[in-house]
């Protein structure tokens, strides 16, 4: 069977690549994480929010030209139709739908279905060929509700007012989501940021996601940080940077944190299972809802999801894409 | 159960010993009987739910989860209990029964019904409780809490001495209501039968050559300081127990010793392995430690024995108030009346002047199986703890080797932002091969300097480990060296520590692997 998309996520009908690792004449970018969005393409087609994120991270001229496409708008190129649909992963994250030759293909990028007010809510899209991620593609991943996890963080803060809670978060997406969750849970004090977070938080606010009072974490007297919450990249928390805080509680917000051995290895004292990806049940549900007869499974634990798809009578195969290996990497999961 | 699940998770993840102790103390103070006693039994490894085994749990989960998906998941997570807790497909809103009800249920359910009962509990539980339930049911906690830590928490919460708790511990049974009543000052100390319990040990203090001026050699007896582990052998009328120095019963690992011991007494000695009372290396002994059940092959190859050097009870008579000389006489007489195959008497070394002891210690360093000389005041009673002036240990000088720093890893807790665990090696031809790891022996100031040096001289990283330029020399002190198939160098060091940092010494002048031969026994 021939498909309108090849296994490198190249779309011949419109001569474009989806999330290419190397510079290409035309790229369609699902979202702003560095394992999907790279600088140096001739043209970048993405949501306006993703384009704004790329420009903040890589500079205003990080691509030859930008082709913003709003959610739901349809772009027709040489008889093919391209549209972007919310993926719910981070602000501006999109699933890419291509329709050509009477076939509908959907590339999910990274996606999640749990509520998150810092990202446009996920939208199911019908298709014939589905390319899905599988970051948490094992049935052991059953993400809890994020508000329960935030409640555990706030309880720990209340129980140990003499210590400073450092929450390890990836700078784009996870950090803003954790801040928003804290606000929703009623944490009205300033939240302190590592330098790597400041610019992206400002961008989120500019794009209409209020985050409350944010202050730089550095330059505060040590004692004043007792009882406070600091958001920082995990690497900074386990390094010299953290010595400035009083008896820090190392927290980490990630889907990986459901596995206690992983949390222990990473020296995390308070693991928070807050994921920006689908868990196993959501992946299953999304695949079935799409109505796709063919499923290509990419980055993550493909084996189990491919096996499951075949059990459902779907044609499924793993895709090995370069540069998309996750595991605690860029995605922060 | 929810409270217990929270406690287990906190204990598993918090690196701070102080916080572990305070959390345990808070739990024991706030949770009522008998739940807290059941929790204490779980934490100290005293609770045995006989029928819940890994195979049964696997059977339970495979009734609910497809086999291939389970296998892929188990392979990824790596721990059976945790895989089951995470993969269980049915979700409850929590609140399992109380701890004691739960244990009662698991203990009284027949083997045939257990999968259904456990499945029902797992479906009822919230995710954190599922993990705790499986830990509880299998008894394999692996959360970094020893029985001693749990007892330390009891001591700190109640103000009762740890030693006093250890004295009664082995005479008590879960759920420990009388223990808690005593700790809370509601009743007196529980009465326990001495032959069933552990008696805290008498420990020694280090001595230097210069200390001898003040001491009269006629007042002291000398023995070798054996290189095994300190044990207390309690031979009662109803059976025997073998306790480690912290009061853990290790009889199950050494049935060869326990079953062969004859008589009625409480003895203090060194657990060693070897044929015909010839002690093997500590490495040999380690192969038999920390095993729940002893393998027949290992018992044949590495038979255990106890080299006895003191006696606390002769029959049921407490002789701890007698002087060492008198206790020794009782011990020798007891040996005459109770012929033994796995116990022997520690030799008393003859000497008249301190110079003789100096010579003994020097000569002793050439032979193996011991690590120096013990000196015991002939009139000293047996006093638990570390009383001053009664027992002295005089370890032989440590061996030293100049080794090159190869890798560094960040430490735990307070040291988590410092590279504080060091792997070092010696030259083998033109390459450096690792011979050991050490994480102490330096000051806080030196740690900071090392941390800076490692960051500035890093040439690669693998997860939490950094490889550094092979330029910094450590003078490493160690007690002994053994052949080891596990290390690339073929040599393993016992008790290595950083003696000095040789900022001045070029790596080319570090030791060669051939130099290690002299240390290997």
Clarify whether residues B239 and B386 are in a common domain.
Answer: yes
Residue A175, pLDDT > 60, answer: yes
The predicted pLDDT at position B494 comes to 83
Q: Residue B69 and residue A308: Cβ atoms within 8 Å?
A: yes
Q: For residue A331, name the pLDDT band (cuts at 50, 70, 90).
A: very low
Clarify whether residues B493 and B454 are in a common domain.
Answer: yes
Clarify whether residues B494 and B373 are in a common domain.
Answer: no
Average pLDDT over residues A23-51: 97
Average pLDDT over residues A166-180: 97
Residues of chain B with C-beta less than 8 angstroms from the C-beta of A304: 68-69, 72-73
**Cis before B34 (ω within 30):** yes
The predicted pLDDT at position A326 comes to 42
Name which of B12, B72, B417 is nearest A303 (Cβ-Cβ): B72
The predicted pLDDT at position B521 comes to 58
Report if residue B124 sits inside a domain: no
The predicted pLDDT at position B128 comes to 82
Question: Coil, strand or helix: which one is B138?
Answer: helix
DSSP designation for B464: T
Same fold, A10-140+276-318 and A146-272: no
Beta bridge partners of A318: A297
Clarify whether residues B247 and B386 are in a common domain.
Answer: yes
User: Whole-angstrom Cα distance, residue B376 to residue B277?
Assistant: 23
Q: How many CB pairs under 8 A join A and B?
A: 68
Question: Last residue of some domain: B362, B395, B428?
Answer: B395
Q: For residue A327, name the pLDDT band (cuts at 50, 70, 90).
A: very low
Shortest Cα–Cα distance, A142 to chain B (Å): 7
Question: Coil, strand or helix: which one is B481?
Answer: strand
Hey, where are the domains in chain A? 10-140+276-318, 146-272
DSSP designation for B201: P
- What is the separation of C-alpha A230 from the centre of its chain, rounded to a whole number of angstroms? 21
Clarify whether residues B212 and B340 are in a common domain.
Answer: yes
User: Whole-angstrom Cα distance, residue B369 to residue B366?
Assistant: 10
Residue A330, pLDDT > 50, answer: no
Mean pLDDT is lowest, of A1-15, A275-289, B101-115, B477-491, for B477-491
Measured between CA atoms, the residue of chain A closest to residue B78 is: A261
Q: Residue B65 and residue A259: Cβ atoms within 8 Å?
A: no
Report if residue B86 sits inside a domain: no
Q: What is the pLDDT of residues B176-187, one digit of tens each?
A: 999 999 999 999
Q: What domain range includes position B486? A: 399-519
Clarify whether residues B363 and B430 are in a common domain.
Answer: no
Q: For residue A174, name the pLDDT band (cuts at 50, 70, 90).
A: very high
Q: Does A137 touch chain B (CB under 8 A)?
A: no
**Cα distances (angstroms) measured from residue A163 to each of A159, A241, A249, A251, A295:** 9, 16, 7, 12, 48
Q: Does A312 touch chain B (CB under 8 A)?
A: no
Clarify whether residues B477 and B513 are in a common domain.
Answer: yes
User: Whole-angstrom Cα distance, residue A200 to residue A89?
Assistant: 15
Q: What is the pLDDT of residues A206-253, one digit of tens each?
A: 999 999 999 999 988 999 999 999 999 998 987 888 889 999 999 999
Q: Residue A138 and residue B12: Cβ atoms within 8 Å?
A: no
The predicted pLDDT at position A124 comes to 97
Clarify whether residues B267 and B322 are in a common domain.
Answer: yes
Q: Which residues contact A137 (CB under 8 A, 6 or more apart)?
A: A280, A283, A297, A300, A301, A302, A303, A304, A305
**Cα distances (angstroms) measured from residue A228 to each of A187, A292, B198, B294:** 10, 48, 47, 51
The predicted pLDDT at position A300 comes to 80
Bridge pairing between strands A229-232 and A214-216: unpaired
The predicted pLDDT at position B480 comes to 80
Reading the block at residue A143, the tokens are 């993400």
DSSP designation for B249: B
- Total structural domains in chain B? 2
Question: Last residue of some domain: B395, B414, B441?
Answer: B395
CATH number at residue B453: 2.40.50.140
Residue A296, pLDDT > 90, answer: yes
Q: Residue A269 and residue B83: Cβ atoms within 8 Å?
A: no
User: Whole-angstrom Cα distance, residue B404 to residue B489?
Assistant: 13
Q: Residue B72 and residue A304: Cβ atoms within 8 Å?
A: yes
Q: What percent of chain A has pLDDT over 70?
A: 96
CATH number at residue B325: 3.30.470.30
Clarify whether residues B210 and B347 are in a common domain.
Answer: yes
Report if residue B11 sits inside a domain: no
Q: Does A258 touch chain B (CB under 8 A)?
A: yes
Clarify whether residues B305 and B224 are in a common domain.
Answer: yes
Report if residue B408 sits inside a domain: yes
Report if residue B65 sits inside a domain: no
The predicted pLDDT at position B368 comes to 64
CATH topology assigned to domain A10-140+276-318: Metallo-beta-lactamase; Chain A (3.60.15)
User: Whole-angstrom Cα distance, residue B420 to residue B330?
Assistant: 49
Residues of chain B with C-beta less than 8 angstroms from the C-beta of A144: 127
Q: Say what the ipTM of the complex is.
A: 0.93
Shortest Cα–Cα distance, A226 to chain B (Å): 17
For A100, phi then psi, to 5°, come to -160, 155
Q: For residue A188, name the pLDDT band (cuts at 50, 70, 90).
A: very high
Question: Last residue of some domain: B395, B424, B452?
Answer: B395
**Residue-averaged pLDDT of chain A:** 93
Q: Residue B416 and residue A243: Cβ atoms within 8 Å?
A: no
Q: Does A143 touch chain B (CB under 8 A)?
A: no
Average pLDDT over residues A89-97: 98
Measured between CA atoms, the residue of chain A closest to residue B8 is: A260
Cα-Cα-Cα-Cα dihedral of A18, A22, A27, A31, to 10°? 60
Name which of B13, B68, B89 is nearest A269 (Cβ-Cβ): B13
Q: What would the 3-class secondary structure string for B341-372 be?
A: CCEEECCCECCCCHHHHHHHHHHHCCCCCEEE
**Residue ranges in chain B modelled with pLDDT below 70:** 94, 193-196, 365-369, 413-414, 521
Clarify whether residues B337 and B437 are in a common domain.
Answer: no
Pick the CATH number of A146-272 from 2.40.160.20, 3.40.1050.10, 3.40.50.11540, 3.40.50.12650: 3.40.50.12650
Clarify whether residues B355 and B435 are in a common domain.
Answer: no
């Amino acid at each position: 069977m021939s498909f309108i998309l090849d296994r490198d996520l190249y779309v011949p009908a419109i001569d474009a690549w989806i999330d290419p690792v190397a510079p290409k004449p035309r790229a369609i970018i699902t979202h702003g994480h560095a394992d999907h969005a790279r600088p140096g393409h001739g043209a970048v087609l993405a949501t306006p929010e993703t384009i704004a994120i790329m420009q903040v991270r890589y500079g205003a001229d990080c691509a030859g030209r930008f082709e913003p496409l709003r959610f739901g708008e349809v772009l027709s190129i040489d008889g093919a139709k391209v549209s972007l649909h919310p993926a719910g992963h981070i602000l501006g994250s999109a699933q890419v739908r291509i329709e050509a030759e009477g076939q509908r293909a959907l590339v999910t990028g990274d996606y999640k279905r749990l509520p998150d007010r810092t990202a446009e809510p996920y939208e199911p899209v019908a298709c014939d060929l589905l390319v899905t991620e599988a970051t948490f593609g094992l049935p052991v991943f059953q993400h809890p509700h994020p508000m329960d996890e935030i409640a555990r963080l706030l309880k720990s803060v209340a129980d140990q007012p003499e210590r400073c809670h450092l929450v390890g978060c990836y700078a784009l997406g996870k950090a803003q989501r954790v801040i928003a969750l804290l606000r929703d849970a009623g944490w009205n004090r300033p939240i302190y940021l590592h330098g790597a977070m400041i610019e992206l938080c400002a961008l989120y606010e500019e794009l209409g996601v209020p985050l409350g009072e944010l202050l730089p974490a550095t330059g505060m007297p040590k004692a004043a940080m007792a009882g406070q919450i600091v958001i920082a990249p995990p690497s900074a928390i386990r390094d010299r940077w953290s010595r400035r805080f009083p008896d820090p509680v190392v927290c980490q917000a990630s889907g990986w944190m459901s596995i206690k051995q992983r949390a222990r290895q990473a020296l995390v004292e308070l693991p928070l299972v807050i994921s920006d990806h689908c868990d196993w049940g959501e992946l299953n549900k999304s695949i079935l809802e799409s109505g796709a007869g063919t499923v290509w499974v990419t980055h993550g634990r493909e084996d189990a999801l491919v096996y499951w798809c075949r059990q459902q009578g779907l044609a499924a195969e793993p895709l090995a894409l370069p540069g998309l290996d996750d595991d605690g990497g860029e995605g922060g999961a | 159960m929810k409270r217990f699940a929270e406690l287990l998770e906190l204990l598993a993840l918090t690196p701070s010993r102080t916080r572990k102790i305070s959390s345990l103390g808070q739990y024991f103070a706030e949770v009522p009987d008998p739940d807290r006693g059941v929790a204490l039994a779980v934490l100290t490894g005293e609770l045995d739910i006989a029928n819940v085994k890994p195979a049964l749990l696997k059977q339970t989960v495979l009734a609910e989860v497809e086999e291939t998906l389970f296998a892929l998941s188990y392979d990824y997570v790596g721990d059976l209990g945790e895989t089951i807790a995470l993969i269980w497909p049915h979700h409850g809103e929590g609140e399992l029964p109380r701890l004691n009800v739960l244990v009662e249920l698991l203990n009284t359910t027949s083997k045939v019904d257990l999968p259904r009962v456990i499945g029902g509990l797992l479906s009822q539980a919230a995710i954190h409780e599922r993990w705790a339930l499986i830990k509880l049911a299998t008894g394999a906690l692996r959360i970094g809490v020893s029985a001693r830590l749990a007892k330390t928490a009891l001591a700190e919460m109640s103000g009762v001495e740890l030693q006093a708790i250890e004295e009664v511990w082995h005479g008590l049974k879960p759920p420990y209501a009388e223990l808690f009543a005593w700790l809370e000052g509601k009743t007196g100390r529980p009465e326990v039968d001495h032959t069933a319990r552990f008696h805290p040990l008498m420990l020694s203090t280090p001595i230097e050559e210069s200390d001898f001026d003040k001491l009269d050699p006629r007042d002291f007896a000398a023995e070798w300081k054996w290189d095994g582990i300190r044990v207390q052998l309690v031979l009662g009328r109803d059976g025997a127990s073998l306790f480690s120095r912290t009061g853990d019963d290790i009889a199950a690992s050494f049935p060869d010793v326990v079953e062969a011991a004859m008589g009625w007494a409480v003895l203090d000695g060194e657990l060693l392995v070897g044929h015909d009372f010839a002690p093997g290396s500590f490495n040999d002994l380690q192969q038999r430690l920390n095993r729940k059940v002893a393998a027949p092959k290992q018992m044949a190859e590495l038979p255990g024995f106890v080299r006895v050097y003191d006696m606390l009870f002769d029959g049921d008579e407490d002789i701890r108030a007698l002087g060492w000389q008198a206790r020794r006489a009782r011990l020798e007489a007891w040996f005459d009346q109770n012929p033994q195959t796995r116990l022997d008497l520690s030799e008393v070394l003859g000497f008249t002047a301190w110079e003789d002891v100096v010579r003994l210690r020097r000569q002793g360093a050439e032979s193996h199986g011991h690590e120096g000389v013990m000196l015991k005041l002939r009139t000293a009673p047996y006093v638990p703890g570390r009383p001053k002036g009664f027992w002295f240990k005089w370890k032989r000088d440590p061996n030293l080797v100049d080794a090159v720093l190869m890798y560094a890893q960040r430490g735990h807790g307070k040291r988590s932002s410092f590279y504080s665990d060091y792997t070092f090696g010696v030259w083998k031809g033109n390459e450096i091969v690792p011979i050991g790891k050490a994480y102490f022996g330096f000051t806080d100031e030196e740690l900071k300097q090392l941390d800076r040096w490692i960051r500035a001289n890093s040439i690669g990283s693998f997860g939490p480990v950094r490889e550094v330029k092979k330029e910094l020399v450590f003078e490493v002190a160690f007690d002994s060296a053994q052949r080891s198939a596990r290390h690339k160098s073929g040599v393993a060091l016992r008790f290595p520590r950083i003696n000095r940092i040789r900022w001045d010494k070029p790596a080319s002048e570090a030791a060669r692997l051939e130099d290690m031969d002299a240390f290997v026994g």
